[in-house]
Amino acid sequence: MRCLRKAITIAWKDVLSEMRTKETISSVLVFTLLVIVTFNFAFNTGQEVMNLVAPGILWVTFAFAGVLSLNRAFILEKEENCLEGLMVCPVSRETIYVGKMLGSLLFMLVIEAIALPIFALLFNLAVLSLQLMVITFLTTIGFAAVGTLFSALAVNTRAREMILPILFLPIVAPIIISAVSASGLALSGEDWGGLASSLGIIVAFDVIFLVMSYLVFTFVIEE
């Protein structure tokens, strides 16, 4: 388990670096809240319609915030070519992937943990249900799994901020669809059985893409 320990070291390094300046987390947080508020202006209707569109708004917000968070992961390593510094360390490329993925996952979960209650407040919804938290957690894993891979990919190209969303959004479209479905059901008081099929898709995505990204990561960073 030495590999896992080193992956956690990498993730911890990312956390430490972020805690130092807090600049990325605060800007992503502000962005997230802005998006939610802007949607509120866009759908200036009564509570009933709000209840219908709330899941969609939530997940569009998290998807966009996710893109910003994921961009950060490898831009950090671009300065002073730290990625090469990591590649020269006695760890497998896969361990680097796991470390960065854990760091991004934590980052996104923190943002979501702060955004959800505020969302609940603005939309008068009971979002602090266990169901919604589970849906959010599982979907964010999917975001982190694929997003970390694509973040590493995008950072070496010429238009890195644009490339990531172009790659990321179509690939995670199925779990966004499923998360919106599941969230809608959860908000309307559906029990776990009703959520099962949507959650199943999200879990399948997570497993498949954790494995695929793990296997393919080395081709993204190595020439």
Partner 1 sequence: MKEAGSISQAWAIKIQGLTKSFGIHHALRGIDLEVRQGTSLVIFGPNGAGKSTLIKVLATIINPSSGKVLVDGLSLKSNAEEIRYRIGVVSHQTFLYGNLSVYENLEFYSRMYDVSYPRERIREVLDMVDMTSRLYDRVGTFSRGMQQRISIARALLHKPTIMLLDEPETGLDQQATFLLWRALEAVRERKGTIILTSHNLERGLEVCDQVAILAGGKITFRQPRQGLDLVGLKETYQRSIAVRV
Partner 2 sequence: MKSKILLGMSLVLMIVSLYLVFIYVPTEESMGIVQRIFYLMVPMGWLTLLAFLVVFISSILYLAQKESRWDILAYSSAEVGFVFTTLAIITGSIWAKPIWEVWWTWDPRLTATLVLWFIYAAYFVVRSFAAEESQGARLAAVVGIIGFVDIPIIAMATTLWKGLHPPLIIFQEGGIAPEMLLTLLVSIAAFTVFYFVLLRQQVLMKNDESKLRILKTYDS
Contact footprint for partner 1 (CB under 8 A)? 2, 6, 9-10, 13, 16-18, 20-21, 76, 79-82, 84-92, 222-223
At which residue do the structure tokens 């296997």 appear?
Answer: 215
- CA 114, distance to chain mean position in Å, is 14
Q: Which does 158 bind (CB under 5 to 8 A by kind): partner 1, partner 2, none?
A: partner 2
Residue placing its CB nearer to partner 1 in the complex, 18 or 206 = 18
Q: Which does 79 bind (CB under 5 to 8 A by kind): partner 2, partner 1, none?
A: partner 1
Whether 64 contacts 54, CB under 8 Å: no
Closest Cα to residue 100, out of 150, 134, 31? 150
Q: Shortest gap between Cβ of 57 and partner 1 (angstroms)?
A: 33
CA distance 78 to 68: 16
Residue placing its CB nearer to partner 2 in the complex, 39 or 205 = 205
Whether 152 contacts 217, CB under 8 Å: yes
Q: Shortest gap between Cβ of 154 and partner 1 (angstroms)?
A: 20
The H or E element that residue 79 is part of is none
Closest Cα to residue 206, out of 134, 152, 112? 134
Q: Shortest gap between Cβ of 6 and partner 1 (angstroms)?
A: 6
Q: Which does 88 bind (CB under 5 to 8 A by kind): partner 2, partner 1, none?
A: partner 1
Q: Shortest gap between Cβ of 82 and partner 1 (angstroms)?
A: 5
Q: Which does 20 bind (CB under 5 to 8 A by kind): partner 1, partner 2, none?
A: partner 1
Residue placing its CB nearer to partner 1 in the complex, 48 or 80 = 80
Residue placing its CB nearer to partner 2 in the complex, 114 or 171 = 171
The H or E element that residue 78 is part of is helix 47-78
CA distance 147 to 164: 8
Residue placing its CB nearer to partner 1 in the complex, 89 or 166 = 89
Residue placing its CB nearer to partner 2 in the complex, 36 or 187 = 187
φ/ψ bin of 44: left (φ > 0), alpha (ψ from -120 to 50), beta (otherwise): beta
Interacting residues toward partner 2 by CB under 8 A? 146, 149, 153, 156-159, 162-163, 166-167, 169-171, 173-175, 177-178, 181, 197-198, 201, 204-205, 208-209, 212-213, 216, 219-220, 223
Q: Which does 188 bind (CB under 5 to 8 A by kind): partner 2, partner 1, none?
A: none
In order, the DSSP letters of 18-60 are HHHH-HHHHHHHHHHHHHHHHHHHHS---HHHHHHHHHHHHHH
